[in-house]
Amino acid sequence: MIQGGTSNDCERDSESAAIEFRGRSIGAILFDKDGTLFDFRKTWLPILLNGAGEIAGGDEMLAKELVIAAGYDPDTDRFTADGPIAAGNPTDVASAWRAVLLRNGKPAPSEQTFAGAMDRASRSRGVATSVPVTDLRPLFTRLQNAGLVLGLATSDSEESARASLARERIDDLVHFVAGYDSGIGPKPDPEVVHAFARSANSDASAVLVAGDTWHDISMAREAGALSVAVLTGAVSREELVPYADIVVDSIADLPELLGIAR
Structural element, H or E, at residue 55: helix 40-56
Dihedrals phi, psi of 126, to nearest 5 degrees: -60, -45
Residue 126: pLDDT band by 50, 70, 90 thresholds?
low
Residues carrying CATH 3.40.50.1000, the chain: 19-39+132-257
SS3 content of the chain, % helix, strand, coil (to 5): 45, 15, 40
Whole-number pLDDT of residue 8: 38
pLDDT in tens, 172-215: 999 999 999 999 999 999 999 999 999 999 999 999 999 999 89
pTM for this model (two decimals) = 0.86
Between 190 and 114, the more confident residue is 190
* DSSP state at residue 78: E
Whole-number pLDDT of residue 251: 98
190 preceded by cis ω (within 30°)? no
Whole-number pLDDT of residue 14: 37
Burial of 6 (0-12, 13-18, 19+ CB in 10 A): middle
For the ranges 105-109, 124-128, 152-156, 190-194, the maximum mean pLDDT occurs at 190-194
Write out the CATH class of domain 19-39+132-257.
alpha beta
Q: Strand 176-178's sheet: what is its strand order? A: 176-178, 149-153, 28-31, 207-211, 226-230, 246-248
Q: Do strands 24-26 and 19-21 pair parallel, antiparallel, or not at all (unpaired)?
A: antiparallel
pLDDT in tens, 215-261: 999 999 999 999 999 999 988 899 899 999 999 999 999 999 999 98
